[in-house]
Structure 1
Amino acid sequence: MKKRLSILLVLMLTFALLVGCSSPAPAATPEPAPAPAPAPAPSDDTGIVKMGLGHITSIEKSKDLNGDVLPLGQVDTIIAAVAFDKDGKVVKVTIDSAQTRVNFDKELQITSDLKAENKTKVELGDAYGMAKASKIQKEWYQQIAELEKWMIGKTVDEIKAMKTVESAPDVPELASLVTVSVGDYIAAVEEAYNTAVEVQGGAVSLGLGHNIDVSKSKGYSNKDGKETLPLAQVDTVMAAAAFDKDGKVVGTLIDNAQTKINFDKEGKITTDKKGEFKTKVELGDAYGMIKASSIQKEWYQQIAELSKWMVGKTVDEIKAMKTVEKDAAHPAVPDVPELTSLVTISVEHYIEAVAEAFANAK
């Protein structure tokens, strides 16, 4: 019995020693935390699938010669370049207004500088002078920028449904920011939507450019039995252009609002001040260039070919186009194989407008 107890005691002591001398079990190694997912690469896709160019032209502010009131030919052309997504929502929008005046004296001679630069309201900036009379102390360019911001993400129907009071916005977001009458600006955006064209993928910015010329205006003259009546003519070239991340054109629309205000020899306006004034593209075949065209193509057809040629090129490449002077009225006709049989109009003003669109793109 004693022998068994001794053996048991020895076994218990041996076990105790083994337990006391053993190393503690290593702590369980935690599972490594999953690596964070890489941030998505920035996308160049802004969702732009279409772009449009809208415009509204009016001569209603023109004036007859009437006592001390001197004759005035005034052309107001509102321009809107707009980009839309697949759902018809506004992605990018730029609105401007070219308020161009040709002044005459009592003898019906032009007093305006026909070679001077004619600026839009946005270009005039603070010099336009609206802030002085504005109850919210904001200039035209500041107010139109707020209206543009409000349009982003909305469809044309939603924009047209804006509540107004006396033609100014009556929505909380704009009440303290926009007091100008917005009807024509909305109408120009709607026209841009209705005439929008598809653009190539990858458009990241949209710009609006223009070129305004009044040099074809005339004062009254009567020489050698040939009478020339007063004319205020304003040619407003406009271009909406979309660009990719490399600055290449993915879509462009170019038009020209050639607006004429005729006066009689008494200084009275003979043009219908409430008439509809169409651009060269809108006139289509009625513009009548094909009769004098050596390639039998209308203006709208030629400008469409020029616009196509620009796609895939940078502004520098477009400006580097080789041209040739055909005559004094056509100093820059394309001289590149792709266009010689398609475009015979002088293109300098159209290229300038697209270059400006690039400089202004957002």
Structure 2
Amino acid sequence: MKKFLAMLLVLSLSGAALIGCSTTDKTPDGNTPPAVTEETPKDGEEVAGEIAKIGLGQTTTIAKSKDLEGETTPVGQVDTVIVAAGFDKDGKVVKVTIDTAQTKINFDKELQLTTDVTEKGKTKVELGEAYGMKKASQIGKEWFEQAAALGEWMVGKTVAEIKAMEIKDGKTADAELTSSVTISVEGYITALEEAYNNAVEVKAGAVELGLGTDISAAKSKGYANADGKETLPLAQVDTIMTVVAFDKDGKVAGTIIDNAQTKVNFDKEGKVTSDKAAEVKTKVELGDEYGMKKASQIGKEWFEQAAALSEWTVGKTVEEIKAMELKDGKATDAELTSSVTITITDYIETIVEAKENAK
């Protein structure tokens, strides 16, 4: 009898404990909350797979530009490889976009422009099927499809693991990629490494990454000689590259803005006078060498102003950024007038495009 009473007491206490849990542990709407485990991250804590840093890597060359020679007319060609990447706290690739801006400025035998330089240029990804690689591709895939496949392969790997890829004649020999990527990959791996080396931390909670570009050849010029003043041919391509990370609510967690202002100069015989083998630097890479500080009303160099604009975007939605009041393309916002005097219209447009392309 005593054993029976003891057992009855234990069961009664257990039932009371269960009843207590069922009443006190339920949410106001009567649902049982999810279990909290040791792996549940604390507020503000970085987790694997979340974007902790973003980077921009690029390489610009004018090596394929051509002189006037016989029936060959002059061409100023600017090729800019672009890699936008997001990395987690362990340095693994979370998100990546690979693109190339291949811009050609054509002249006739009289050294006059034949390219419509009022039209904005397009990257290979933006050209899509119009780029025309599929016809000549051994695997029947367009350039943007191959770039996407390479990017997907990079996700989850460190830069060191990506650099360890087996390459033959500039192309991948990795069994996972040979059926989907036949383009040369070395330049994209180099740009990814640069993106990692230059990566900046972003606000916690970043889950999407986007790339926006703006390509203009509007400052290019044909040959002219009027009133004793000679103007030599110039192919100038300004390639704006903007990388933006967004949180789940569409707010900016981090922004990187840069501009490759590339000039291909010709003499009056149509020969390229720029060093086609020289390294081409972006405005950020030029730093103080760009020379804006001397003429700046606020005494700040271009890269400093671009960084200030980038910082201002953090925590804002694209709609809020677009709503910024501008005058003659410049910011009138009290937060920016003391740190940004450059024209920012095109930079805002690339932020908007980055959101449209975000993944």
Output the TM-score relative to the length of structure 1. 0.87
Equivalences for 1:234-273 in 2 at 5 Å?
234-273=237-276
Aligned-residue offset at 1:51: 0.7
Of 200, 216, 219, the residue aligned with 1:216 is: 219
Structure 1, residues 253-289: CA drift from partner, whole Å, max 9, x if none?
A: 0000000000000000001111100000000000001
Equivalent in the alignment of 1:25: none
- Give the aligned length: 328
Structure-2 change in CA distance of 1:120 and 1:39 (3 Å)? farther
Alignment pair present for 1:81 and 2:78? no
Amino acid at match of 1:126: E
Aligned-residue offset at 1:47: 2.0
C-alpha distance in structure 1 between counterparts of 2:317 and 2:33, whole Å: 36
Equivalences for 1:192-211 in 2 at 5 Å?
192-211=195-214
Alignment pair present for 1:359 and 2:351? no
Aligned-residue offset at 1:56: 0.6
Equivalences for 1:21-36 in 2 at 5 Å?
none
Structure 1, residues 153-184: CA drift from partner, whole Å, max 9, x if none?
A: 11111111100111111011001110000011
Of 94, 99, 106, the residue aligned with 1:96 is: 99
Alignment pair present for 1:274 and 2:269? no
C-alpha distance in structure 1 between counterparts of 2:358 and 2:235, whole Å: 31
Alignment pair present for 1:144 and 2:117? no
CA RMSD of aligned residues (A): 2.1
Amino acid at match of 1:83: G
Amino acid at match of 1:179: T
| SS of residue matched to 1:270 | coil
Structure 1, residues 50-105: CA drift from partner, whole Å, max 9, x if none?
A: 11011010111110000000100010101111011111110110011000110000
| SS of residue matched to 1:179 | coil
Equivalent in the alignment of 2:184: 181
| SS of residue matched to 2:294 | helix
Instruction: Report the structure number with the largest CA radius of gyration.
Output: 1
**Structure 2: which 5+ runs fail to align?**
1-10, 23-31
Of 295, 299, 307, the residue aligned with 1:292 is: 295
Name whichever of 235-244 and 109-118 sits farther off: 109-118
Name whichever of 290-299 and 229-238 sits farther off: 290-299
Aligned-residue offset at 1:117: 2.5
Task: Answer whether contact 2:120 2:214 (CA < 8 A) is retained.
Answer: no
Of 343, 346, 349, the residue aligned with 1:346 is: 343
Task: Answer whether contact 2:215 2:240 (CA < 8 A) is retained.
Answer: yes
C-alpha distance in structure 2 between counterparts of 1:240 and 1:40, whole Å: 35
Alignment pair present for 1:334 and 2:307? no
Amino acid at match of 2:348: I
Alignment pair present for 1:165 and 2:162? no
Aligned-residue offset at 1:130: 0.3
Aligned-residue offset at 1:38: 3.5
Aligned-residue offset at 1:37: 8.4
Amino acid at match of 1:89: K
**Structure 1: which 5+ runs fail to align?**
1-27, 326-331
Alignment pair present for 1:55 and 2:58? yes
| SS of residue matched to 2:248 | coil
Equivalent in the alignment of 2:26: none
C-alpha distance in structure 1 between counterparts of 2:127 and 2:279, whole Å: 27
C-alpha distance in structure 2 between counterparts of 1:341 and 1:167, whole Å: 47
C-alpha distance in structure 1 between counterparts of 2:293 and 2:120, whole Å: 31
Task: Answer whether contact 2:120 2:217 (CA < 8 A) is retained.
Answer: no
Equivalent in the alignment of 2:29: none
C-alpha distance in structure 1 between counterparts of 2:36 and 2:306, whole Å: 41
Structure 1 vs Structure 2: percent identity of aligned residues?
Answer: 62
| SS of residue matched to 1:199 | strand
Equivalent in the alignment of 1:10: none
Structure 1, residues 3-61: CA drift from partner, whole Å, max 9, x if none?
A: xxxxxxxxxxxxxxxxxxxxxxxxx9xx99x9998478999964211110110101111
Alignment pair present for 1:116 and 2:113? no
C-alpha distance in structure 1 between counterparts of 2:164 and 2:68, whole Å: 41
C-alpha distance in structure 2 between counterparts of 1:307 and 1:117, whole Å: 23
Amino acid at match of 1:173: E
C-alpha distance in structure 2 between counterparts of 1:349 and 1:188, whole Å: 24
Amino acid at match of 2:70: G
C-alpha distance in structure 2 between counterparts of 1:167 and 1:78, whole Å: 15
Amino acid at match of 2:353: E
Output the TM-score relative to the length of structure 2. 0.88
Equivalences for 1:65-80 in 2 at 5 Å?
65-80=68-83
Structure 1, residues 216-261: CA drift from partner, whole Å, max 9, x if none?
A: 0000001111111000000000000000011000100000000000
Over 6 Å off, 4+ runs: 34-37, 39-44
C-alpha distance in structure 1 between counterparts of 2:99 and 2:174, whole Å: 22
